[in-house]
Amino acid sequence: MPEPQEDDDGDVMAGDRRISRPDSALPDWHIPDASYRPVPIAWFAGAFLLQMVVLFAIFMVLISKNGAFTIGLSALATGAIGKWTWERGMKNASNGWKIATIVMLTVQLAFIILGASERL
């Protein structure tokens, strides 16, 4: 029965070199799994967090003003964040991510409208 090798950690041997990927036929400079692949959840989360911070700031700064200013400025900010998110790549995402993003932006804006409506 052969003894197990101490350094057998699943690496692939390529001549006198040890590489950790199974695609050893590719040249050394090519790393196939290191390319940037944007994902819709990053755009969704970015829009969510940015809108949350911006709408909170608008609400707090305009808390002593008429609610119409708060609602109007919040709607403009939400539109700008939505446009920015679409341009980042959400326009190429699946319909589920598009719908989720629109719903999330709308719901957060609705909370601001609800809070500012008593100052109308």
Do the domain assignments include residue 88? yes
Structural domain contains residue 62: yes
pLDDT tens profile 62-98: 999 999 999 999 999 999 999 999 999 999 999 999 9
Confidence band, pLDDT 50/70/90 cuts, at residue 39: confident
Q: Is 60 exceeded by the pLDDT of residue 56?
A: yes
CB < 8 Å & 24+ apart, contacts of 53-62: 54/81, 55/108, 55/109, 55/111, 55/112, 58/112, 59/112, 59/115, 59/116, 62/116
pTM to 2 decimal places: 0.70
Print the domain residue range for 83: 40-119
Q: Looking at the domain assignment, is residue 102 inside a domain? A: yes
- Tell me what pLDDT residue 103 has: 98
- Say if residue 55's pLDDT is above 80: yes
